[in-house]
Structure 1
Amino acid sequence: MTQRRVGVIHPYWSFWESAVGPGFPDDRAALGARAVSTIERFVDVAWSETVQPGDDIAALSSRLDPEVDAIVVAGTMASAPGAVIQLLDAFPAAALVLWAAHEGAGVHPDLSHSGITERGGTVGIPMIGAHLTRTGRPFDVVAGEIADGGSIGPAVVAAAAAGAVRRSRLGVVGTPIPGYEWARVPNATLEAVGVTVVERTAEELASRIGPPATRGALAGFEIEGDVTDPDVDRALAYSAALDSLVADDRLDAGTLNCHVPALRLGIGSAPCLALGLCTSRGTPWTCTGDVATALAMLMVASLGAPTLYHEIEALDEVSGEAILANSGEHDDRFGTVDGARLIVNPWFDRDRATASAEFTIAPGPASLVGIVSKPDGSLGAVVATGRFTARTSHSSGTANAAFVFDSGPITEAWRRWSLAGVGHHSCATDRDVSREIEAMCRHLGMGFERV
C-alpha cells in the first residue's frame, strides 16, 4: 500500500498573546511541531502550516502539495476560524480530522485565564466543526494529549484511507451475472463518494491475454503434483493481462465477471489466481461483477489490511464457527495455518484446468465487511468483528477460514448480518477494522452498522 500523506494545519491567533505573554508564539509553534511528530507515527506529513487571521490563504494554498489524502487541523487554542476554513476549501477532496490537542492529561486545579488560553483547543476546534456541519462537509473530531497517539492515530489513518478511496479508480470488467444486480452499485452512487468508475468489456480484457507473467509471484506456494506447467501458464497469462489493465487504467480496485465466453472459452480457464495475485499486491479484485464487495475490499485495503473475498459457506452450530471460502480468489498477505498450496481449482472443469491458491488463514482477530445499498440510493458499510480459529477446510479447494462472531451465538449473529442487507459475498480481514471503517463511512457520507 502507498504510504498515506496528510497536511497539517495549526491555527494561531495573536489576539491572545496579551493573556499569556511574549513567549506564546514560540510556545504554540513548539506544540504544533509536537503535533506533527505524533501524526508522523501513523502517516507521512506532506506539509505543515501555522495559519492565522490575515494570512494570504490564496498564495499559501497555491504552493502546498494538493495530493494529500487528508488534512488534520491540530487546534491548541481558540482562533478565529476564517483563514483555516478558507484553506480547507482549497482541498475539497481531502478528508478532515479536527484535533483538539493539549499538553498534559490533567488540568491545573486553579485554572487561570492564561491557562484557559493555553488549553483552548476545545474552544477553537468546535468553531471550525460548526462551519463544516453547516456547509455539509464531513469531518471527524478527536481530543487528546498532544503526544498520545491513541485517539489521533486511528482517526488520521481512517481519514487518510477515506481520502484515498475518494480519489480512487475502480475497474468494472463486463456485466454482473443475471440475478446479481444487488452487487452492482450505480456509477453515480460511487461517484458521489469520489470513486471513479472505469468500465471495460470482457472482450477488451480478453484481447490482452498473451504470454504468461513470471512465476516469481508464486514463490510462497507449494505447487501440487497434478498442477501442470500449462495450467500455471494459463493462470499467469490471465495475471499478465490483468496487471496490464490495472497499470494502463491506473486502477485501485476492480471486479470481473469471467462467466462469459470471451473470458472462459477462449483460454479454457478461469482468472481466479490472477485476481488473487493482484489483490495480494494491494489492488483488490472481486468476481461476478460484484462492485459492492469491491468497494468493501477497497476500503479495507486502503487501511493497509489484507482482504479475502469470500462467502459464508456454512454455519457450524456446535463449534460456533462460520466457514469462509470462495471460488479461488486469495490474498497471500495473510498468515496461514500450515502453508499455502497451488492446486487444481475443484470448482471448474479439469480439462485445461484452472490453478488456484489454497490455504487456511491463521487464527487471530478478524472482521467481516460488507457494503449494502439502501432504498434511497445511499450506501452503507456493515462490519462484524470476531476471530479466526485454527480450523482448516482444505477440501474446499480455495483460500478459507473459520470465523467466530463476537456478537453472540452464530445463527443469531448471522441473522443480524443478513438482516443488515449484506449479500452472499463480503470481505474478511485479519484485524478489527470496525472503528476505522465507521470513521471512513463518516468521511465518505455512507451509513454504518456494527453486527
Structure 2
Amino acid sequence: MSPRSPRIAAIGGFMQYFEPIMGPDSRRDRTAHLDHTIAGLNAEAEIHNLGLLVDETDEARLVEAVRQLAPDVLLIVPTMATPPGPMLRVIGAAPDAPVIIACSHGLESISAEYAMAELCRHSANVGASMVESLMRRRGREPVTLVGFLSDDEFHARLLMAVRAAATARRLKGLRIARLGLPMSGYDHVGLDAQEAEASDMTLVDIPLEDWAERVAGVTAQQIDQLFERLPTIMPQGTEWQRTPDHDRAAGLAIALQKLSDEQNVDCGSLTCRGPFGVGLGQGAIGCLATTMMTSAGTPFSATGDLVTAVAMFIGRSLGGATLYCELDAIDRQRDAF
C-alpha cells in the first residue's frame, strides 16, 4: 500500500494566570511561537495545529479534537509555564500515541530590559519540566527535545523525533505479508504468527494457490505498460535488453503490487526460490518485484526474511534508503562491500 504521512496533533501550552503580566498580545505571541516550532514538519507529516490550551473551554475542545483525530503522534509545545493537569487530560484522549515535548526557545540573550513579562513569555523550560514530570509520575514517558528556534539542527532533531515516534506507532498493528516460508535451515529470519502477535503485528499469510492465480492473471498489456514506466524509476543510464525472463519477473512485480494494495500490507517477503517464484508456471526470481515494492514505499525482502522486512520498514520510515541485498565480501582498499 502507499504509505501515508504520519498524523501529528500539535498543542501549545499556556498559563492564563500570567497573562495580565505578559500583556494583551501574549496569546498571539505564544501562538506564533507554536507555529514557528512546528513549521519545519509540514513537508513530511500531516500536521494538525490545534492551538493553545488556555482554559477549561480549550481543554474540552482539545480533548474532543484529539479523540476524533486519533493522531499517530502528540507534539506538545510548552510555549511558557504550562499547568500539567489539563494538558495530561488532553494527552489522555490519545492513550496509544507517542508523546514528544518540544521545548523550543526564542530568546537567546538576556538584556537589561529583561523583566517579569519576558520571564513569563520565555519560560518554556518550566512548562516542559512540569508536563514531563507529571507524565512520568502517571507512567507515560515522553521524549523531550530542547533547542533554539533559530537553529536548523534543533528542527532537524525534532523532525527525526517525529519520524521515530510515528514509526513506533505504526509498528503496532503492522501488517506483514509472507509469500512462502524461509528456505530450509534459515531459522534466523522467519517469523510465525505467535511471534508477530507478541509484537502487536499481524502476519498475513498468502496461500500459494492465491498467489499462483494472481501471477497467471497478469496480462501482456500490463507487462508492456510496466516496461514503458520502468525507465522513469530506474537510475539514469541503466541499460537492459528485454527478454522473456524480464517479462516473467515483471509479472511477479505487477501481481505483488496488486496483492499488497488489496491486503493493505506494510511490508513483507517473497520467497522466490521455490513454489512462490521460480516454481510457478510463469515464475521468475523476485528481485524486480521486491525492489519495485521497496522503492514505492512498501519494503519487501526475499527468502522469507520477515525480520529484515520489518527492519527495512523502519529504515524507510525514518527517511533512509533501503535495499535487500546480501553483503558478501569486503573490499578493504576501497572501504566498501
Q: What TM-score, normalized by structure 1, do the two folds share?
A: 0.63
Question: How does 1:136-147 map onto structure 2 within 5 Å?
Answer: 136-147=139-150
Aligned to 1:160: 166
User: Contact between 2:6 and 2:166, CA under 8 Å: does it hold in 1?
Assistant: yes
Aligned to 1:317: 332
C-alpha displacement at 1:185, in angstroms?
4.1
Aligned to 2:231: 219
Are 2:264 and 1:250 aligned? yes
Using the alignment, how far apart are the partners of 2:212 and 2:139 within structure 1?
A: 44
- State the secondary structure of the residue aligned to 2:292: helix
**Greater RCO, CA 8 A, separation 6+:** 2
User: Contact between 1:203 and 1:263, CA under 8 Å: does it hold in 2?
Assistant: no
Question: How does 1:345-424 map onto structure 2 within 5 Å?
Answer: none
User: Contact between 1:53 and 1:80, CA under 8 Å: does it hold in 2?
Assistant: no
Higher strand share: 1
C-alpha displacement at 1:122, in angstroms?
1.0
The 1:317–1:201 alpha-carbon spacing in structure 2 relative to 1, beyond 3 Å, is same
Using the alignment, how far apart are the partners of 1:315 and 1:171 within structure 2?
A: 32
User: Contact between 1:34 and 1:147, CA under 8 Å: does it hold in 2?
Assistant: no
Aligned to 1:236: 250
The 1:45–1:57 alpha-carbon spacing in structure 2 relative to 1, beyond 3 Å, is same
Aligned to 2:180: 174
Aligned to 2:315: 300
Using the alignment, how far apart are the partners of 1:102 and 1:170 within structure 2?
A: 41
The 1:261–1:172 alpha-carbon spacing in structure 2 relative to 1, beyond 3 Å, is closer
Using the alignment, how far apart are the partners of 1:193 and 1:119 within structure 2?
A: 42
User: Contact between 1:170 and 1:198, CA under 8 Å: does it hold in 2?
Assistant: yes
Aligned to 1:122: 125
Aligned to 2:6: 4
The 1:217–1:253 alpha-carbon spacing in structure 2 relative to 1, beyond 3 Å, is farther
Using the alignment, how far apart are the partners of 1:127 and 1:190 within structure 2?
A: 37
- State the secondary structure of the residue aligned to 1:261: coil
Residues paired across the two proteins, number = 320
- State the secondary structure of the residue aligned to 1:74: strand
Aligned to 1:44: 46
Are 2:287 and 1:272 aligned? yes
Per-residue deviation, residues 63-95 of structure 1 (Å, max 9, x unmatched): 455253322111111111122212222223433
Q: CA RMSD in A?
A: 2.8
Using the alignment, how far apart are the partners of 2:298 and 2:109 within structure 1?
A: 44
C-alpha displacement at 1:59, in angstroms?
5.0
User: Contact between 1:258 and 1:288, CA under 8 Å: does it hold in 2?
Assistant: yes
Aligned to 1:339: none
The 1:289–1:147 alpha-carbon spacing in structure 2 relative to 1, beyond 3 Å, is same
Identity %: 28
User: Contact between 1:76 and 1:120, CA under 8 Å: does it hold in 2?
Assistant: yes
